[in-house]
Amino acid sequence: MLKNIFDAIMKVTDPRPKYTGARCLVERQVVGGCDLCMQACPHDAVRITDRVEIIEADCTGCGLCVQVCPTGALEYELPPMLASFKNQGTTHSLAKGNDRVNASLKCSKVPGDSPTTLCLARVSPSMILASSAWGQKLTLIRNDCSTCSLGGDTVPQAVENVLEIARAYRENIGAVVAEVVQYGLHETSEVQTSKPAPVQPTVNISRRNAFNVFGSTLKRTTADLIPENPFPGINTKLEAAPVPDEWTWRKKALRPKPDVETLQYWPAPIVNDDCIFCPVCQNVCPTNAVTRTREMDGNFQITLETAACTGCNACVVSCPPAAMTLERQVKFEILEQTVMLHQGSGE
C-alpha cells in the first residue's frame, strides 16, 4: 500500500513528459533519425541512444521537447488542459469581437488565480484550435522568460510557432483569435489573421536515393527482395502506437466543420510512380497511418489513413527511391477516409 502511494506521488511530481517509444522516429529507425527534442531542451536533459531518455534531475518540465516532437512520442496529458479552457465558457466558433468569451492561461511565474500551466511552452496547437472552436478570445500570459529557469528565452518564439501552426489549420475556416501578453507590460502580440505556415517541424535530412538506378523492370524484383524484416535481430516492424491525443484533438477542433472540398492544412504524404512497393514506409510510420499490402493477384497497394498521419515526414525521408513527398494541404473529406496512395504490380 505504501509503495503504491509513494509511486503515485513520484508520478505526479515527475516533470518529464510521457514517452511512447513506438512513436519515436529514433526507435522506428527512420533514415537520419531525429534529435529535435534534444536540440530544443535548454537544460541538456535529453539523451538519445537507440531511444530517447529524459533525465529527471535535469528536466524542468517546460515542454519545449514536446512542442517540437513531430509524432507525439513525447506528450503531456491533454484533457485537463482542454478542460481548463472549456470551463471558462464557450460560444459559437465564428463569434467575433465582444461576442467571444474571454479565456486566459498564464505561466506559473505570473501571480494570480487564473488557469495556470507550468510554462507556456506546454501550449500546443490543439489547445489554441479548441479555444477558437469554442468561440473564445484567448490571452496567454507569460513573465520575463529571459530570467526564467524553467524554459528560458526560447519560449516566446516557441509559443509564436504554435500559434503559426494553429493559424495554418484554421486559415480556410476562420481566424485564430489569441494574444500573447507579458506580465507587467502593455505590449501584446495579436494573432487574429490567417497566415500560411511552414509544415509541422520534421526531420530535416537528405533523402536517400540508393535505388534510383533501378529500372522499372526491376521494381517487382526489388520489392520482393526487400523482406518485411530486412535486418535479422532488429525489430524493424515495431508495433505502431495509437494516434496521439494532440492530433486527435486537432481534427476534432476543426469547427465549424469545413465543406468536403475545402483545402485543409494537414501535412500528409503522396507517392509518385517511382514507388517500388517496398515496406519501408509502413515500417517507419509511427501511427500505422501508412499500410502496404499485397493482393491475391500479386499487385501492391500503399494506403494512408489521413487522420492518423502526424506529418512527421518519416516515410518521405526513408523512402529508398525518394518516391514520396509531403503535401501541405488535403481536401477535408480525405481526413475522413483511408486513401490510396499508390497501387500497381511493381513492374
Query: Among residues 48, 34, 64, which one has the least CA distance to residue 314?
Result: 34
Confidence at residue 87, expressed as pLDDT on a 0 to 100 scale: 95
The DSSP output letter for 34 is -
114 vs 191, residue with greater confidence: 114
Helix (H) or strand (E) holding 107: strand 101-107
Place of cell 530517447: 52
Q: Is pLDDT of 211 > 80? A: no
Q: Is pLDDT of 235 > 60? A: no
| Percent share of the chain, pLDDT over 90 | 73
- In single-letter form, the type of residue at position 151 comes to G
Confidence at residue 108, expressed as pLDDT on a 0 to 100 scale: 96
What is the spatial distance between Cα 73 and Cα 311, in angstroms, rounded to a whole number?
13
Rounded to 5 degrees, φ, ψ at 122 are: -80, -10
DSSP H helix total and E strand total for the chain: 10, 14
Across-strand partners of 344? 300
Angle of helix 125-133 versus helix 79-86 axis, rounded to 10 = 30
What is the spatial distance between Cα 27 and Cα 52, in angstroms, rounded to a whole number?
8
237 vs 109, residue with greater confidence: 109
Confidence at residue 48, expressed as pLDDT on a 0 to 100 scale: 97
197 vs 283, residue with greater confidence: 283
Helix (H) or strand (E) holding 246: helix 245-252
- In single-letter form, the type of residue at position 44 comes to D
Mean pLDDT of the chain: 85
| Percent share of the chain, pLDDT over 70 | 80
347 vs 19, residue with greater confidence: 19
Burial of 180 (0-12, 13-18, 19+ CB in 10 A): buried
User: Residue 1's pLDDT band (boundaries 50, 70, 90)?
Assistant: low
User: Residue 94's pLDDT band (boundaries 50, 70, 90)?
Assistant: confident
What is the spatial distance between Cα 32 and Cα 206, in angstroms, rounded to a whole number?
8
Place of cell 473564445: 136
- In single-letter form, the type of residue at position 50 comes to D
Lowest mean pLDDT of 4-13, 25-34, 138-147, 299-308, name the range. 4-13
- Protein fold of 216-344: Alpha-Beta Plaits (3.30.70)
- Protein fold of 1-72: Alpha-Beta Plaits (3.30.70)
Q: Is pLDDT of 341 > 70? A: yes
Q: Is pLDDT of 206 > 90? A: no
Ranges in the chain annotated CATH 3.30.70.20:
216-344
135 vs 175, residue with greater confidence: 135
What is the spatial distance between Cα 3 and Cα 35, in angstroms, rounded to a whole number?
35
Q: Is pLDDT of 12 > 80? A: no
Confidence at residue 227, expressed as pLDDT on a 0 to 100 scale: 52
Q: Are 108 and 63 in contact (CB under 8 A)?
A: no
Q: How many CB atoms lie within 10 A of CB 115?
A: 16
CA distances to 73, 78, 161, 162, 250 from 169, rounded to whole Å, are 21, 19, 13, 11, 8
The DSSP output letter for 132 is H
Is the omega angle on the peptide bond into residue 256 within 30 degrees of 0, that is, cis?
yes
Q: Is pLDDT of 219 > 90? A: no
